[in-house]
């Protein structure tokens, strides 16, 4: 799987400790909380997803600013929704799916 590059990281003490502290400070799913629902968080999601390029960058991997406490359904939704994005498609700043190079005002 494409996630193999992150496996050592997810087993590292640095990450496990960061995760524990983060969940301590953010015990509830941050997305459900915004909708007014209190659900225990089960995952610490990276807002900027980990890639082979940033996996050794603690500013991405171990930064509370880049972390989001999510429940299982919200985490699934985040990854499932994005996994379906095909080549040439991307999300705009509002999370809408757009076609690359066909945004408003892009010249043809
Ligand atoms: Zn949630
Ligand atoms: Zn995630």
Q: Which domain holds residue 22?
A: 4-99
Residue-wise pLDDT tens digits, 62-87: 999 999 999 999 999 998 876 555 55
Quick one: pLDDT at residue 80?
Answer: 86
Q: How far is the CA of 106 from the centre of ligand 2 (A)?
A: 31
CA dist., res. 90 & res. 97, Å (int): 6
Cα-to-centroid distance, 25 and ligand 1 (Å): 16
| Global pTM exceeds 0.85 | no
In a domain, 82, yes or no: yes
CA-to-CA distance for 5 and 49, rounded, in angstroms? 12
> Which residues of the chain carry a pLDDT beneath 50?
1, 101-106, 108
The rounded Å distance from CA 79 to ligand 1 centre is 13
39 C-alpha to ligand 1 centroid (Å): 6
pLDDT of residue 105: 47
Number of domains in the chain: 1
Task: For residue 106, tell me if it sits in a domain.
Answer: no
Query: What ligand is nearest to the CA atom of residue 50?
Result: 2
Q: How many CB atoms lie within 10 A of CB 39?
A: 19
Q: Is 61 inside a domain boundary?
A: yes
**Domain presence at residue 59:** yes
pLDDT score recorded for residue 35: 97
Chain-centre distance for alpha carbon 25: 18
Question: Per the domain annotation, does 108 fall within a domain?
Answer: no
């Amino acid at each position: 799987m494409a996630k193999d590059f992150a496996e050592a990281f997810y087993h590292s003490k640095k990450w496990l400790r960061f995760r524990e502290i983060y969940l301590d400070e953010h015990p509830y799913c941050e997305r459900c909380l915004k909708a007014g629902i209190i659900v225990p968080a089960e995952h610490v999601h990276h807002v900027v997803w980990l890639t082979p390029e940033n996996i050794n960058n603690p500013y991405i991997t171990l930064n509370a600013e880049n972390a989001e406490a999510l429940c299982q359904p919200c985490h699934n939704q985040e990854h499932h929704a994005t996994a379906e994005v095909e080549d040439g498609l991307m999300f705009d700043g509002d999370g809408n799916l757009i076609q690359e190079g066909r945004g408003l005002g892009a010249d043809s």
